[in-house]
Amino acid sequence: MSIISKDISKAVALLNAEEIVAIPTETVYGLAGNIYSEKAIKSIFETKQRPFFNPLIVHISSVDYLSQIVEHIPEKAKLLAEAFWPGPITLVLKKKNTIPDVITASKDTVAVRVPNHPTTLELLRQLDFPLAAPSANPFSSISPTTAAHVETYFKDNIKMVLDGGACKSGIESTIIGFENNQPIIYRLGSTAIEDIEAVVGEIQIKNKKEIAPDAPGMLERHYAPKTKTILTDNILGMVDLYKGKRIGIITFQSEIANSNIEVQIALSKTGDLAESASKLYDVLHQLDKMYLDVIIAEKFPEYGLGKSINDRLSRATK
């Protein structure tokens, strides 16, 4: 029997009973549990096979809840929350002592966001506690953007996927930390840097090596298909190099005329980066099931969501 259901009250009952439930968000599906339940949080880590040193994001129903989670809200964090919540920005701020150490991997900061999905906002309003939710995929595999992706991963391990349709943004939230009260990007994501800069001024991206102690998960091979994956700005050259192999191609806009290609998918025929981001993981899931020898992806333009897409594709190649 399918574990996929639209029944919010069933999800409420399971979460109140310290079980975990996969939930839809605008970015990717999350594997959610009560932040105050040690049982639920342990179960999230076990189900995902995620190492305990990698902290979780806390999901709240509105910005009004923020002061119950964090100790101090820098001025620019307030501006970002007002501008983008509900939406795909996660703020990493000094945590309140009441936030359990298992959520934050014993750090003194906590990651928090208000997701922009009507089903999950309604779910959060019906619960007396926030939800911790990492992406609902086994550690380091491709994040799920449909309820079916989650079911394929976890049908034997979890009781329910709350169905909210396909995720509209399609890649994870942009994570922003604060150093001396100034924002800095820890992870590129579904909110473009240019949009963030329009609110808080110029912002740096934290060097990946420096992030390691702060957010270990970001360094690993991540968001990765099982099939060998290559990111290139010379797609025809790569296709030639793999001549005779079963090749799958991901491009931005245009199709490529080349008889060596087994399957090719252009993410947006109209050149829309948001549309490309929303389809990216589903296309990787599809290609990964086709027993290809190699997936060759075209480098996206290095601005707006193109930067975030290139970030995810380059991690998929590691």
Distance of CA 188 to the CA centre of its chain: 10
The residue among 135 and 276 lying less far from ligand TXA, judged by its C-beta, is: 135
Element (H, E) at 153: helix 147-154
27 sits near Mg ion (criterion: CB under 5 A): no
Find out whether 268 and 252 touch, Cβ atoms under 8 Å. yes
Distance in Å, CB of 54 to ligand TXA, minimum: 5
Residues 134 to 193 in contact with ligand TXA, rule: CB under 6 A: 134-135, 172-173, 175, 186
The rounded distance, in Å, linking the Cα atoms of 187 and 174 is 6
With contacts defined by CB under 6 A, how many residues of the chain interact with ligand TXA? Answer: 29
The rounded distance, in Å, linking the Cα atoms of 193 and 210 is 19
Beta bridge partners of 64: none
> 244: how many CB neighbours lie within 10 A of its CB?
7
SS3 of residue 71 by DSSP: coil
The residue among 90 and 116 lying less far from Mg ion, judged by its C-beta, is: 90
HEC string of 277-313?
A: HHHHHHHHHHHHCCCCCEEEEECCCCCCHHHHHHHHH
With contacts defined by CB under 5 A, how many residues of the chain interact with Mg ion? Answer: 1
215 sits near ligand TXA (criterion: CB under 6 A): yes
Place of tokens 């902290």: 55
Which two three-digit tokens encode residue 106? 């014993």
Binding mask 89-108 for ligand TXA (x = CB under 6 A): -x-x-----------x--x-
Binding mask 33-62 for ligand TXA (x = CB under 6 A): ---------------------xxxx-----
Structural Rg of the chain based on CA atoms: 19
Segment interacting with ligand TXA (CB under 6 A) among 39-47, 61-69, 216-224, 279-287: 216-224
Distance in Å, CB of 190 to ligand TXA, minimum: 7
The rounded distance, in Å, linking the Cα atoms of 144 and 157 is 16
25 sits near Mg ion (criterion: CB under 5 A): no
Contacts of 315 (CB under 8 A, 6+ apart): 221, 222, 223, 224
The residue among 212 and 290 lying less far from ligand TXA, judged by its C-beta, is: 212
Segment interacting with Mg ion (CB under 5 A) among 131-139, 270-278, 283-291, 309-317: 131-139
Distance in Å, CB of 268 to ligand TXA, minimum: 21
The residue among 66 and 292 lying less far from ligand TXA, judged by its C-beta, is: 66
Q: Which of 218, 224, 235, 316: binder of ligand TXA (CB under 6 A)?
A: 218
b/e 178-195 (16+ beta carbons within 10 angstroms → b): beeeebbbbbbbbbbbee
Residues making up the binding site for L-threonine: 27, 113, 133, 173
Segment interacting with Mg ion (CB under 5 A) among 15-23, 124-132, 135-143, 258-266: 135-143
231 sits near ligand TXA (criterion: CB under 6 A): no
What phi and psi values does residue 281 have, to the nearest 5 degrees?
A: -70, -35
Distance in Å, CB of 219 to ligand TXA, minimum: 9
135 sits near Mg ion (criterion: CB under 5 A): yes
Nearest residue to 33 via CA among 113, 136, 117: 136
Segment interacting with ligand TXA (CB under 6 A) among 146-154, 156-164, 213-221, 223-231: 213-221
Footprint of ligand TXA (CB under 6 A) = 25, 27-28, 30, 54-57, 88, 90, 92, 104, 107, 109-111, 115, 133-135, 172-173, 175, 186, 214-218
In the complex, the residues that contact Mg ion under the rule CB under 5 A are: 135
